[in-house]
Amino acid sequence: MLLMVDHHVHFRVIARYDGARHFAGRDWLDTGWPGFPALAEQQHGGEPGLLAQIRQELGSACAE
């Protein structure tokens, strides 16, 4: 829980997992597991259309 710059209490949720997860034809790894999250690390960044595909999948999951 943080209350530093923002003037309201809020939480940030970071999903953690052991082992690879497969989505959009790519393997996603939590390289910091089981320690602190490797927040500075970027996986599959800058690939055209990938962010749109993630948004679409999340939107579909939320609509169910």
Per-domain boundaries in the chain: 1-64
pTM: 0.65
Q: Which residues contact 30 (CB under 8 A, 6 or more apart)?
A: 16, 17, 18, 37, 38
The pLDDT tens digits for 5-62 are: 777 777 778 889 999 999 999 999 999 999 998 888 888 877 889 999 999 999 999 9
Residue 1 pLDDT = 56
62: tokens are 């939320």
Radius of gyration of the chain (CA): 15
Q: Is the pLDDT of residue 3 over 70?
A: no
